[in-house]
Structure 1
Amino acid sequence: MLDDFDRVLAQARRGSPEAFQSLHGDLVRPVAAYLRNKGVTEIEDVTSDVFLAVFTGLGGFTGGQAAFRSWVFTIAHHRIADHWRREARAPALVELTLDDDGGTTPAAEHHALDALGTARVHELLDTLTPDQREVLLLRIVADLTLEQTAEVLGKPAGAVKSLQHRGLAALRKIVEPEGVSP
């Protein structure tokens, strides 16, 4: 969170590169994490699309830092839908690799552990309903408030709270028998 958000926003509206960098730096990691957890494959490209839309629409934005965060994640939410529409229309591309390019690669164990952790998170998230999964990603990964999440999803705050409660309860039922405490 930026301590001097109003000043930074005003400077960004006047075209200050440093102010743009501050706004970007404050939210780029949560936006990228949200995209990653929604299964976006081209995280850098979609993140860039999100911030391009943010910076081109900055003049029309009104509100404080909390509203700005909600607005950014609303844009990200829409860009995810755009991404999936493009993916559905695009042909599958296969990257050409050489068997021995002379480079070094990380140990197989490193890849296996990374994939295992990521796979387990996705496996757990896949047990939830799409609405529960979306709420938990926005609340936990994007660190949005209940009200901000409701705004992004176009749902009443009470419904978001209920979806979050049911989603966490469902996850708890799965992980507690495994000896993992929430």
Structure 2
Amino acid sequence: MRQGGEPRRVHAHDGELGAAVARAQEGDEAAFAVAYRLVQPGLLGYLRGLVGDDAEDVASDAWLEIARDLGRFKGDGAGFRGWSATIARHRALDHLRRLKVRPRSSALEQDVLDLPGAYSTYDQALESISTERALELVRGLPRDQAEAVLLRVVVGLDAP
């Protein structure tokens, strides 16, 4: 249990991720590929919320650092997910400093609205309205709170 009695949120693949990271730290390249496959989609979504269309470039920089420093990581699958998000955030902030612009949310909005689904058109229309409203609300939050929402919902990380 975390503070406040709330149980820790467990991501469905954290056990597999933890095992892959441990093997990757021993030099198993295929295991690193598994860790990448499990973490990259959420990481990319998070970065799109921070840097928009430059997310893939920033993610590449982050993965270079993750690969370089993997031997120093200590923790489980959830810890690796958080550690990776921290590195990606630092690379995103560096990128934004170089561009001297504020984070953009339009790319994240477009990605969320373009996600394919197995729903009826009616359900998709209702979901789209809800998604647009949710993104409007997120954009209205202070930057640190909006980022926390992205980390929790898109990357699957839990507080703190």
Query: Does TM, scored on the shorter chain, surpass 0.5?
Result: yes
Residue 74 of structure 1: CA displacement?
0.7
* Correspondence 1:142 to 2:139: no
Alpha-carbon distance between aligned partners in 2 of 1:124 and 1:38, rounded to the nearest angstrom: 16
Q: Deviation at 1:9?
A: 2.0
CA distance in 2, matches of 1:43, 1:132: 20
> Number of matched residues?
122
The one of 12, 31, 34 equivalent to 2:46 is 34
Partner of 1:65: 77
Q: Residue deviations 1:6-29, cap 9 Å, x none?
A: 442232123222111001000100
Residues of 1 paired with 2:71 and 2:59: CA distance? Answer: 20
Sequence identity (%): 38
**Aligned residue type for 1:26:** L
From 55, 69, 74, give the equivalent of 2:67: 55
Q: Residues 140, 45 of structure 1: CA spacing in aligned structure 2 closer, same or farther, 3 A cutoff? A: same
Structure 2 counterparts to residues 130-169 of structure 1, below 5 A: 130-146=143-159, 150=160
Contact 1:11 1:19 in 2 (8 A): yes
Alpha-carbon RMSD across the aligned residues, in angstroms, is 2.4
Amino acid corresponding to residue 67 of structure 2 in structure 1:
F
In structure 2, C-alpha distance between the alignment counterparts of 1:4 and 1:30, rounded to whole Å = 16
Please, which moves more after superposition, 57-66 or 118-127?
A: 118-127
Separation (CA, whole Å) in 1 of partners of 2:93 and 2:40: 19
Q: Given the two structures, how large is their TM-score scaled by the length of structure 1?
A: 0.59
Letter in 2 for 1:136: V
Consecutive unaligned residues in structure 2, runs of 5 or more: 1-12, 102-112, 115-127
Q: Is the partner of 1:39 in helix, strand or coil?
A: helix
State the distance in 2 between where 1:120 and 1:5 align.
33
Q: Which has the higher contact order (CA 8 A, sep 6+)?
A: 2
On the 8 A contact 2:42/2:154 being kept in 1, the answer is yes
2:56 to 32, 44, 48: 44
Q: Which amino acid aligns with 1:140?
A: V
Higher-Rg member (1/2): 1
